[in-house]
Amino acid sequence: MTATYYGSTATSTAANPPLEVLSVIGGAIQYPGVLTTASKGGKVWFYSSTNTPSDMAAAGVIADGAHLGMKSGDVLIGVFNGGAATTDCYPYLGTLHSTESSLSTAAYNLTSNYST
């Protein structure tokens, strides 16, 4: 069962969007040899919730990604917190991806997941 994502537009007591931890100076990375003016990634985000890594891989799960400033290629570090016991916490790491064409409404999900 997929846990509900409570982004930045949820009520103040329920909101739990990913937090930007680190950003490349200049805001994005230009990859050498890529024939495009578009920039990709460059930020690191942290997210802790009851959402499992597979929940976070569901298409468009971070519905307010564009509003938060996410771009494809950003890195997401997360902790799945399954309960009160410390043994129920598992880290995950991956890149963010969006399949949506509109940057103003783009939702993101976790890809390239490495979890323990």
**What tens digit of pLDDT does each residue of 21-71 get?**
988 776 556 656 655 545 567 789 999 888 888 888 888 889 888 889 888
**φ, ψ of residue 65 in degrees (nearest 5):** -55, -45
With beta carbons less than 8 A apart as the criterion, state whether 54 and 111 touch. no
Q: What percent of the chain has pLDDT over 70?
A: 69
Q: Which residues pair with 111 in a beta bridge?
A: 95
With beta carbons less than 8 A apart as the criterion, state whether 71 and 43 touch. yes
Kindly report the pTM of this predicted structure.
Answer: 0.77
